């Protein structure tokens, strides 16, 4: 009987004998579902594209793995666990980093900045060379002069460039000792450095705040010894095995340390991005629910139009459940048709945008990208299909359940 129910529902939907208002409403219902399904795929793919672009920007500065203290701000590199980490076979290079805030001044301009003291292998642990927009990456030259590489936004705030010859002064409060209330200036340490380069990650948290300086300079400013760090940046020999390597390093170091991948280093951003994506999905689902009311209305009109057919089927021995399933299948076929057309349309538009970029963001240097980035993920396609079919089933079930069969 199941094949008969599908056959009758198929005939009701695609019958060519006549075209009336019910056929038009059914077509509009399928079209509405298709448009929403295509829109869901396009919106999610564009969000994935922006997420991928931002992730790539972060990856130019953030290391593949980062080791930080589980509690507190600093830890020592002479700890037994860290010594074992240095001999771990999967590590290509290990860069020591000390971070802290300071006040920087150039002529009459001053602003707070995030100092990152880095060692000679920092460039190998990151891709800093690829994001230098002016000058070169150098934090200490051969003559022993202190150099700095700063974010583009911070350099603009200070009004400096890579080829400026005047020094930039860095002030930080003394970490050890008492503050002299009569001479508070005596409670500050001062260092000076010269600008060697400007970098641009195109992320405010880096471009507007970060200064890269030498590791000894930051240690002098904050009275840290040569074995104290705030983090270790790791570059791996086999990046494709990063998840496995992260777990093994975490087991090696124990609970006193945290091993962070690039997502965890930017946990707040990616959590916010995930919430935005979830809210977008919920909004599109709400629009789909509204579109599903078309299915309810078209199915209700079909039931009214087929009253005589229902009576005949009942007299021929069809049970009320079988007759209800005919219209249930009819409504679900509308959703399936709309879902298939929408998925094909959405995937086609995304692939065209992904390869040809015909929808532009704008022109000029103010835009990082010339066209909307798109990253089609088949998991999103399956999610859209599942949501459309589920809501389509619910929309078809309601009028079918309310159907009263009379002999």
Mean pLDDT by 10 residues, the chain (407 residues): 64 60 75 91 91 84 92 91 90 92 91 92 87 90 86 92 89 76 71 92 90 93 91 87 90 93 88 89 89 80 74 72 77 86 93 87 65 89 90 81 62
Please state the domain count of the chain. Answer: 2
Is the same domain home to 227 and 123?
yes
Together in a domain, 20 and 113: no
* CA separation for the pair 90, 261 (Å, rounded): 15
Q: Which residue has the tokens 């793919």?
A: 45
Tokens representing residue 210 in the block: 């970060």
How many residues are given for the chain? 407
Q: What is the pLDDT of residue 367?
A: 61
Residue at 276 is within a domain: yes
Segment holding 123, helix H or strand E: helix 122-125
Q: Are 41 and 186 part of one and the same domain? A: no
pLDDT value of position 20? 62
Same domain, 46 and 99: no
Q: Is residue 318 part of a domain?
A: yes
pLDDT score at 82: 92
Query: Has residue 315 been placed in a domain?
Result: yes
Q: 């003559």: which residue's tokens?
A: 143
**Which of 208, 240, 264 is at the close of a domain?**
264
In this structure, are 88 and 130 located in the same domain? Answer: yes
The set of residues, in sequence order, having a beta carbon less than 8 Å from that of 271 and lying 6+ positions away, is none
- Give how far Cα 256 sits from Cα of 60, 71, 82, 249, Å: 28, 7, 11, 12
Given this model, what pLDDT does residue 366 score? 58
Considering the domain architecture, whether residues 257 and 294 belong to the same structural domain is answered as no
Tokens (6 digits) for 279: 């809210």
pLDDT for 406: 58
- pLDDT score at 407: 55
Residue 407 belongs to a domain: no
- Tell me how far apart the 2 most distant CA atoms of the chain are, in Å: 105
Closest CA to 322 of 400, 402, 395: 400
Return the pLDDT at 18: 52
- Residue where a domain stops, chosen among 264, 295, 313: 264
Phi, psi of 320 (to 5 degrees): -55, -35
Q: Of 294, 280, 383, whose CA–CA distance to 334 is shortest?
A: 294
Comparing CA positions, the residue from 119, 123, 126, 117 lying closest to residue 65 is 126
53 and 81 share one domain = no
Same structural domain for residues 44 and 143? no
The helix (H) or strand (E) run that includes residue 93 is strand 91-106
| Residue 338, domain member (yes or no) | yes
Task: Find out whether 171 and 102 touch, Cβ atoms under 8 Å.
Answer: yes
Assigned domain for 71 exists = yes
Range of the domain at 333: 2-58+269-402
Distance, in Å, from the CA atom of 211 to the CA atom of 223, rounded to the nearest integer, reads 19
Tell me: do 280 and 208 sit in the same domain: no
Region of residue 107 (phi > 0: left; psi between -120 and 50: alpha; otherwise: beta): left
Residue 79 is assigned to a structural domain of this protein: yes
Q: Is 135 helix (H, G, I), strand (E, B) or coil?
A: strand
* 129 & 31 share domain: no
Assess if residue 250 is contained within a domain.
yes
Q: What is the DSSP letter of 64?
A: S
**Burial class, 236, CB count within 10 angstroms (exposed 0-12 / middle 13-18 / buried 19+):** buried
Same domain, 110 and 204: yes
- The per-residue pLDDT for 242 is 87
Choose among 120, 74, 122, 80: nearest CA to 98.
74
Q: Do 337 and 379 belong together in one domain? A: yes
Q: Give the residue from 264, 294, 318 where a domain finishes.
A: 264
């Amino acid at each position: 009987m199941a094949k008969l129910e599908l056959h009758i529902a198929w005939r009701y939907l695609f019958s060519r004998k006549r075209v009336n208002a019910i056929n038009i409403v059914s077509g509009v219902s399928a079209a509405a579902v298709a448009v929403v399904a295509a829109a869901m795929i396009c919106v999610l793919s564009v969000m994935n594209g922006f997420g991928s672009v931002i992730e790539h920007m972060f990856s130019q500065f953030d290391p593949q793995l980062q080791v930080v203290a589980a509690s507190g701000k600093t830890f020592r590199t002479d700890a037994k666990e860290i010594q074992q980490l240095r001999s771990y076979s999967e590590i290509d290079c290990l860069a020591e980093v000390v971070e802290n805030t300071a006040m920087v001044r150039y002529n009459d301009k001053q602003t707070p900045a995030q100092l990152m003291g880095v060692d000679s292998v920092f460039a190998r642990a990151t891709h800093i060379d690829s994001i230098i927009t002016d000058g070169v990456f150098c934090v200490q030259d051969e003559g022993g002069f202190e150099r700095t590489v700063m974010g583009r936004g911070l350099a603009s705030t200070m009004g400096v460039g890579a080829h400026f010859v005047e020094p930039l002064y860095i002030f930080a409060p003394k970490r050890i000792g008492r503050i002299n209330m009569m001479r508070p200036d005596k409670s500050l340490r001062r260092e000076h450095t010269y600008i060697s380069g400007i970098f641009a990650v195109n992320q405010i948290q880096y471009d507007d705040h970060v200064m890269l300086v030498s590791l000894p300079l930051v240690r002098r400013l904050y009275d840290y010894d040569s074995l104290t760090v705030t983090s270790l940046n790791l570059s791996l020999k086999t990046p494709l095995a990063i998840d496995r390597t992260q777990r093994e390093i975490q087991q090696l170091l124990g609970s006193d340390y945290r091993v962070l991948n690039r997502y965890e280093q930017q946990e707040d951003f990616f959590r916010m991005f995930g919430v935005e994506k979830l809210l977008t999905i919920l909004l599109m689902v709400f629009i789909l629910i509204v579109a599903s009311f078309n299915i309810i209305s078209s199915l209700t009109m079909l039931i009214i139009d087929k009253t005589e057919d229902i009576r005949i089927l009942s007299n021929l021995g069809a049970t009320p459940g079988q007759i209800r399933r005919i219209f249930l299948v009819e409504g679900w076929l509308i959703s399936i048709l709309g879902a298939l057309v929408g998925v094909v349309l959405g995937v086609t538009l995304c692939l065209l945008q992904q390869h040809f970029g015909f929808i532009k963001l704008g022109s000029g240097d103010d835009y990082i990208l010339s066209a909307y980035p798109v990253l089609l993920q088949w998991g999103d396609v399956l999610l859209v299909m599942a949501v459309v079919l589920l809501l389509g089933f619910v929309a078809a079930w309601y009028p079918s359940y309310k159907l009263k069969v009379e002999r």
